Amino acid sequence: MMKTLTHTPTALWPGLRYALAKALARACAVVWRKARQWSAYAPAATTRTDPIWEFHAEAGAPEGALFVNGELVGHVQVRRL
């Protein structure tokens, strides 16, 4: 014969679920504030002072493309030995 439960575990402790939810909400708030505070001190990844130069050319081609920070600046004539 199977035994049936007449009560649920949360019914035994009605304030326990509320207290746990409140404690978790406070802990999340503290972690959120700390994360925002620490991110303010992190250096920005997008601020660069030096340009990034790139040169693209096919093998044996007489010219190539010059890019600065991902934008086409011009074409360069290449003389190979």
Question: pLDDT tens digits, residue range 34-51?
Answer: 888 887 776 666 666 788
Regions of the chain where pLDDT drops below 50: none
Q: Give pLDDT, residue 25.
A: 93
Distance of CA 70 to the CA centre of its chain: 22
SS3 label, residue 46: coil
Query: How far apart are alpha carbons 31 and 22 in whole angstroms?
Result: 14
Q: Which residue has the tokens 């019914």?
A: 11
Q: Give pLDDT, residue 58.
A: 78
Q: Give pLDDT, residue 24.
A: 92
Q: Give pLDDT, residue 8.
A: 62
